[in-house]
Amino acid sequence: MSECPSKKQNLAFCTCTYEPCERKGRCCECIQYHWPRKQLPGCMFPPEVERMYDRSLKRFLQCHQT
């Protein structure tokens, strides 16, 4: 992994609560990790859902249905 020049700025709005995450603050790497697994990064979910660590597209759609 390379160091992200925007990491400090990204960490200011990163809502991921998964502490051992090595991609925290590296949004590009986070998306590349989650997308092949049919997931989205934790920052795309409401806080109460993010803490459940269900990053699935299905859960995302459930959260954002109108």
Can you read off the two tokens belonging to residue 64? 């954002």
Q: How far apart are CA 16 and CA 25, in angstroms?
A: 9
Q: Is residue 16 part of a domain?
A: no
Query: How many independent structural domains does the chain possess?
Result: 1
Residue 12 predicted with pLDDT over 80: yes
Q: Is residue 6 part of a domain?
A: no
Note the pLDDT tens digit of each residue in 27-64.
999 999 999 999 999 999 999 999 999 999 999 999 98
Question: How does DSSP classify residue 56?
Answer: B
Classify each residue of 28-57 as buried b or exposed e, where b means 16 or more C-beta atoms within 10 Å of its C-beta.
Answer: ebbeebbeeeebbbbebbeeebbeeeebee
Instruction: Determine the structural domain holding residue 53 and report its residue range.
Output: 22-63
Q: Is residue 7 part of a domain?
A: no
Residue 1 predicted with pLDDT over 90: no
